Amino acid sequence: MPNKLHLLTETLTTPIGALVLISDEEGRLRAIDWTNYEGRMHRLLARHYGPNNFTLTPARNPSALAKALAAYFEGDIHAIESIPVATEGTAFQKSVWQALRGIPAGQTISYGELARRLGKPAAVRAVGLANGANPIGVVVPCHRVIGTNGSLTGYGGGLERKRWLLDHERRAQLS
């Protein structure tokens, strides 16, 4: 039987709600979600690691991850760019999530453009599904992907949060 994965949990208060951060002992972010979606995050962890193959322990002190996210919400929109992540997913999902991290703060692209950047222009729907399965919103900035017509499309934390995140990044760039 494999060793259980020991994960640390902490909550960060932000202007748009409280975030739950899940990290591993090496300081890599594994999952993040809004507290009103915490059940969804626990189901994701169970699916990725097995329901009995991980433990969650409250972090004793604010982690470097929490400090970087706090700085992001305070206006340093680049503070999250170097946060180390470790996620489970298919090779395709991971390629989409890596591409998301290449979208500069304050900018948006369409699902079609993201598919083209991955060299799979016909995979727009698959890109959308992978974007929606992203376990590390904000840090892996799925909120920066919009509809082809420029409309805000689905966001796991709700469209109001997506709008706030995009406006926050644009405002910070103007400062």
Residue 32 · residue 19 · CB < 8 Å? yes
The alpha carbon of 121 is separated from its chain's Cα centroid by a whole number of angstroms, namely: 23
The whole-angstrom separation of Cα 18 and Cα 38 is: 10
Q: Active-site residue among 12, 142, 165, 166?
A: 142
Residue 142: active-site member: yes
For residue 99, the surrounding DSSP H or E stretch is helix 91-100
Exposure class string for 77-111: b at 16+ Cβ within 10 A, else e: bebbeebebebeeeeebebbbebbeebebbebbbb
Active site residues: 142
